Amino acid sequence: MYCKCGSFDRGHGLLQELPAHDSFSWTAFISCAADQGFGEESLRCFEQMQQQGIRPDVVTWASILKACGSIGAATRGEEIHNEIERRGLLQDNVLLLNAVVHMYAKCGALEKSQQVFEKLPVQEVVTWNALITGYAQKGSSQNAFKCLQRMEQKGLPPDLVTYLCLLNVCSHSGLLDEGQVLFTFLSSWTTTVADPCLEHYTCMVDLFGRAGNLDKASAMVEVIPSLDFIGIWVALLFACQKWADVTLGKRAFEHSLEVAKSDMSAYVLMRNIYSYAGMLEEAEEVEIMRMKMCRP
């Protein structure tokens, strides 16, 4: 319970107070910390678990690989991968093989990730998505789309996460036409299959914005089912900062305050928009607003 709430010190203290530590209790803590994004805590607990001579199980190994991926600990992740192989646990174990693929992909070690991926007896959509995300983070749009082609060749339909990953690739690589084709296809799915999520719309706002097409970015905002998602307005503000559009930026900033008044990124972006336009008094006013929000 403490772990899920982010109180890792308290949770770890209670773990230490247990009369006997077993693999289950350690794994529960390590897994929870990894799921919450606290990779360093997971690794520390894993070291303590090993020092006590407690044998990790498959879930423990999968969780610690996830922890390594979350903090980009490629060297430690590779050591754990090698240890799992030495113990003979990796052969035909889809859970661990998937965990290794995800770990390397998140660490940016895509060649190793691909090598392990090819050994998988079953290549699931979630694992394809991990590879696509990894290629997206590296800016390798060509390899990301090759993954999509291979999925389709194998008769494996992409899911919403796949499209989100690919839209991110398009946005950060300036692939405007490809992004529009993907979104059009995604939007053509029947509602019984899936509808684009707010994140997909946000990617399109970002795609148009980065390309300098602020009219289309603004038009995309108008058709989004719900505007109560701060990411939409941050994406639009980012575009306004890049292309020095004060008028649209002010409108986006006003909406962002209605949605999430405490989001600092919106203040920083609006301050920069004013600063780049030489409107220093207005920039200072936004900075004062931001500082007030930072106070306890």
pLDDT at residue 82, as a whole number: 97
Q: Residue 28 burial (CB < 10 Å; 0-12/13-18/19+)?
A: middle
**Alpha helices, H only, the chain:** 8-17, 23-35, 39-51, 58-70, 74-86, 94-106, 110-117, 125-137, 141-153, 160-173, 176-187, 198-210, 214-222, 230-243, 246-259, 264-276, 280-294
pLDDT at residue 296, as a whole number: 64
Q: Would you give the DSSP letter of residue 123?
A: -
Model confidence over 73-118: pLDDT tens digits? 999 999 999 999 999 998 878 899 999 999 999 999 999 999 999 9
What is the residue type of 292?
A: K
pLDDT at residue 1, as a whole number: 40
197-296: CATH topology? 1.25.40
pLDDT at residue 195, as a whole number: 67
Q: How far is the C-alpha of 129 from the C-alpha of 91, rounded, in Å?
A: 22
List of the chain residues with pLDDT < 70: 1-22, 189-195, 296
Dihedral angle sign, alpha carbons of residues 221, 227, 233, 234: negative
Model confidence over 276-285: pLDDT tens digits? 999 999 999 9
pLDDT at residue 6, as a whole number: 44
Dihedral angle sign, alpha carbons of residues 124, 127, 129, 132: negative
Q: How far is the C-alpha of 235 from the C-alpha of 257, rounded, in Å?
A: 14
